[in-house]
């Protein structure tokens, strides 16, 4: 059975990032992150940083940490493929890293061009040394992101939380 | 006309005050190390294309300090879109210095795009940098150095340097150590 529709997970993420004192949010837009991107732009305690390519995000967040700030990365699954070599920076220097990845190409996908990367997102991240956690149900989102923030910044490791396409809902064309 | 890269970097980093430095992989990392190791240097040995974005995150996190990225033409070209991302954030304390030998030096001196006409200062200007300039000789460097230290960013200065091996001066390759000592040095 699907979870109760009372949990609006899209509105829960920003307050959790804020409570964790996340100061920089680097992103390439995805429709699944619309609300979160807007909330980060509207929050004077955060800097929302639009990127031309997801690979820039590893650099930006490494720089943020060098300067004493926490940052997170927002992207869709196809962007993971753009990050692989840049993720070596996180691994070799043990920069804390958290990416929130909206999934495409896995659940009722209409656009087959999303499938090759969507089907390889988890393997690609793991191959690049990133710990992968997954949310399939609305009530999972808040606790998973809260725990992932602690894992990334307290244990100084790279973590990705995949927000599944089933959770987000099929894209309607 | 072009400058000696070691001498140019030595001048940039003399009396550096509270400047924070990020160096791009290969020769720029050796040049920065040759000017004198410092805990406030973050040396890259890989992640090609990441030097300027690291400068961006650092400049936002440390707005009271000058952040100087010293990198190569090849390294910058790999992440050219990052210049647009930097311009969008307008970090006034960020300066990118490109040691432009018009070559991929580390890999055998193959010609880079700047040898074929790409003008990195014009690219930065087009992205919306506050200031962008190309330096060809000592007198132009003399005139630019004060801006590099105190002018309003984001700024990109391409220094045309002689294509030649300068000898390798190798700083630590231990990424965790380089990261941790940097953070300790600036008290975060
Ligand atoms: C992703 C990636 N591709 C290729 C290389 C190989 N590589 C190492 S240094 C370098 C050239 C750097 O040229 P530049 O930044 O201009 O520095 P220079 O030595 O010319 O000063 C290349 C292509 C690499 N390290 N990583
Ligand atoms: Mg070069």
Ligand with smallest separation from the Cα of B78: 1
| Predicted pLDDT of residue B152 | 97
Q: Is the pLDDT of residue A4 over 60?
A: no
| pLDDT exceeds 80 at position A170 | no
Which pLDDT band, with edges at 50, 70 and 90, does B179 fall under? very high
B49 in contact with A, Cβ within 8 Å: yes
User: pLDDT-based confidence at A3, cuts 50/70/90?
Assistant: low
**Ligand 1 pocket: which of B47, B100, B106, B169 to mutate (most atoms within 8 A of CB):** B106
Q: What is the count of structural domains for chain B? A: 1
Inter-chain residue contact A66 with B50, CB threshold 8 Å: no
Mean pLDDT of A155-171: 94
Instruction: Return the structure tokens found at B169.
Output: 């001066």
pLDDT of residue A168: 94
3-state secondary structure chain B: CCECHHHHHHHHHCCCCCCEEEECCCHHHHHHHHCCCCCCEEECCCCCCCHHHHHHHHHHHCCCCCEEEEEEHHHHHHCCHHHHHHHHHCCCCEEEEEEECCEECCCCCEECHHHHCCCHHHHHHHHCCCEEEEECCHHHHHHHHHHHHHCCCCEEEEEEECCCCCCCCCCCCCHHHHHHHHHHHHCC
Residues of A in contact with B57 (CB under 8 A): 24, 26, 59-67, 69, 71
Using an 8 Å CB-CB cutoff, list chain A residues near B61.
23-24, 63-64, 66-69
B95: nearest Cα among B130, B61, B123, B141: B130
Look up the domain containing B170 and give its range: 5-186
pTM: 0.97
Phi (first) and psi of residue B65, to 5 degrees:
-115, 155
Smallest CA-to-CA distance from A77 within A135, A134, A35, A117 is with: A117
Residue B74 has what pLDDT? 98
CATH class, domain A9-167, is: alpha beta
Q: How far is A6 from chain B (nearest CA, A)?
A: 37
CB atoms within 10 A of CB B177: 11
- For residue range B84-110, list pLDDT tens digits in order: 999 999 999 999 999 999 999 999 999
Res A173: pLDDT: 67
Distance A107 CA to ligand 1 centre (A): 40
How far is the centre of ligand 1, averaged over its atoms, from the C-alpha of B104 (Å)?
Answer: 6
For the domain that residue B117 is a member of, what is the CATH number? 3.40.50.970
Question: Minimal Cα distance from B76: which residue of A?
Answer: A56
In the prediction, which pLDDT does A160 show?
99
Q: Identify the residue among B57, B91, B171 best suited for mutation to test binding to A, counting A beta carbons within 10 A and taking the highest.
A: B57
Ligand 1: centre distance to CA B51 (Å): 12
Asked if the C-beta of A67 comes within 8 angstroms of chain B's C-beta atoms, the answer is yes
Rounded to the nearest angstrom, the minimum Cα separation between B137 and chain A is 31
């Amino acid at each position: 059975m699907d979870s109760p529709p009372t949990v609006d997970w899209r509105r829960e993420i920003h307050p959790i990032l804020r409570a964790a004192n996340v100061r920089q949010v680097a992103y390439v837009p995805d429709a699944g992150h619309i609300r979160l991107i807007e909330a980060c732009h509207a929050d004077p305690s955060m800097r929302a940083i639009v990127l031309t390519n997801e690979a820039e995000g590893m650099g930006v967040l490494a720089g943020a940490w060098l300067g004493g700030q926490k940052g997170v990365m927002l992207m869709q699954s196809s962007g993971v493929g753009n990050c692989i070599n840049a993720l070596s920076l996180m691994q070799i220097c043990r920069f804390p890293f958290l990416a929130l990845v909206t999934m495409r190409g896995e659940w009722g996908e209409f656009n087959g061009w999303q499938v090759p990367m969507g089907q390889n997102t988890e393997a690609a991240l793991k191959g690049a040394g990133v710990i992968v956690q997954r949310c399939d149900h609305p009530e999972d989102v808040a606790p998973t992101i809260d725990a992932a923030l602690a894992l990334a910044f307290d244990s100084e490791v790279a973590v990705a939380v995949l927000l599944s396409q089933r959770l987000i809902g099929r894209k309607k064309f | 006309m072009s400058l000696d890269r070691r001498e140019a970097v030595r001048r940039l980093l003399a009396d550096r005050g509270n400047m924070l430095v990020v160096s791009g992989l290969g020769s720029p990392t050796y040049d920065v190390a040759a000017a004198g190791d410092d805990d406030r240097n973050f040396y890259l040995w890989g992640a090609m294309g990441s030097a300027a974005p690291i400068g961006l995150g650092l400049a936002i996190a440390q707005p009271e300090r000058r952040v100087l990225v010293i990198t190569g033409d090849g390294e910058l070209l790999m992440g050219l879109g990052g210049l647009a991302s930097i311009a969008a954030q307008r970090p006034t304390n960020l300066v990118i210095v490109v040691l432009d030998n018009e070559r991929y030096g580390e890999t055998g001196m193959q010609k880079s795009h700047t040898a074929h006409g790409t003008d990195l200062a014009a690219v930065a200007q087009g992205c919306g940098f506050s200031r962008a300039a190309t330096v060809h000789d000592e007198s132009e460097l003399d005139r630019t150095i004060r801006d590099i230290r105190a002018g309003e960013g984001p700024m990109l200065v391409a220094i045309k340097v002689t294509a030649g091996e300068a000898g390798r001066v190798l700083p630590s390759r231990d990424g965790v150590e380089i990261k941790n000592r940097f953070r300790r040095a600036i008290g975060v």
